[in-house]
Amino acid sequence: MLVSLNPSALRQTRWYEYAVRFFFGGAVTVVAGLIAKKYGPTLGGLFLAFPAIFPASATLVEKHEREKKKKAGIFKTRRGRQAAALDAYGAALGAIGLLGFGLIVWMANPRLDSILVLTLATCAWAAVSVFLWRLRKTPFWP
């Protein structure tokens, strides 16, 4: 399946749904910083890979899919949960890329310029995630 861009999907999301994601993103960034200050960077660092907005995103995916079916006159459907499951499957592949991101920053940040390291690590996250997605487009659940 080809990857496509659908900008009109932005209009499906309501302003408060954007606000919730902004709030959780900001809150986790602050909390991670506070925990690192109080208990040290090894504990605070864990929260840099906390699934902060994933529950909100998966819930939105399910809701939007259900609303789409409702508009088409289908009121009882599994489609919303299946779409959320696929979203979670993609996140699992992205998490492997995230692991690569963390390892690159851990090893390269003390030696190289931080902006360069973060740029390289982000590119590595994207490359690993997309490669894995292309390799395995369908979930491996039996």
Partner 1 sequence: MGQLIFRFLVGGLIVSFFAALGDVLKPKSFAGLFGAAPSVGLATLALTSISDGKMYAALEARSMAAAAASFLIYACLCSRLLMRWQWHAAKTTIMALTVWFAVSSALWFAFLK
Interhelix angle for 54-71 vs 15-39, to 10°? 170
Residue 23 binds partner 1, judged by CB under 8 A: yes
Q: Which of 68, 69, 81, 120 binds partner 1 (CB under 8 A)?
A: 81
Residue 141 binds partner 1, judged by CB under 8 A: yes
Residue 135 binds partner 1, judged by CB under 8 A: no
Residue 15 binds partner 1, judged by CB under 8 A: no
Return the number of other C-beta atoms located less than 10 Å from residue 87's C-beta: 17
Query: Both tokens of residue 87?
Result: 């979203």
Minimum CB–partner distance for residue 134 and partner 1 (Å): 9
Residues within window 38-57 making contact with partner 1, judged by CB under 8 A: 40-55, 57
CA 1 to CA 108: how far, in whole Å? 36
Q: Give the rounded distance of the alpha carbon of 95 from its chain centre.
A: 8
Instruction: Indicate the DSSP class of residue 8.
Output: T
Half-sphere exposure of 78 (CA within 13 A, CB side): 3
Residue 73 binds partner 1, judged by CB under 8 A: no
Minimum CB–partner distance for residue 33 and partner 1 (Å): 5
Minimum CB–partner distance for residue 70 and partner 1 (Å): 16
Q: Which of 14, 27, 74, 127 binds partner 1 (CB under 8 A)?
A: 27
Residue 110 binds partner 1, judged by CB under 8 A: yes
Query: Would you call 138 helix, strand, or coil by DSSP?
Result: coil
Which residues, 6 or more positions from 96, have their beta carbon under 8 angstroms from its beta carbon? 128, 129, 132
Minimum CB–partner distance for residue 94 and partner 1 (Å): 3
Residue 69 binds partner 1, judged by CB under 8 A: no
